Amino acid sequence: MEKSIIDVWNNSKMFNYVRSIGVCAECEICNLYKNNNCSGGCPVSSKYFTGTFEGKDEFCYIGG
């Protein structure tokens, strides 16, 4: 059975999990994040470098 991309986006356990991941404390106080100009970095990059999805993204050019 084929699923539409919208159905996959809205109902995928993986996508729902990724959307629910929080951001690090530094991102929460950053004006770029507060003003919706940044989404808090890449959770996969954070996981790789810090061991947690909520860690600091080492590629952030503001705080990195």
* Overall pTM > 0.75: no
Report, as an integer, the average pLDDT of 32-61. Answer: 89
CB atoms within 10 A of CB 46: 24
Report, as an integer, the average pLDDT of 29-55. Answer: 90
Over the stretch 5-32, which tens digit does the pLDDT of each residue have? 999 999 999 889 888 888 888 899 999 9
Distance CA 34, CA 16 (A): 22
Concatenated DSSP letters of 24-60:
-HHHHT-HHHHTTS---S-HHHHHHHHSSTTS--TT-
Q: Report in angstroms the alpha-carbon separations of 29 from 4, 10, 24, 40.
A: 37, 29, 9, 11
Report, as an integer, the average pLDDT of 24-53. Answer: 90
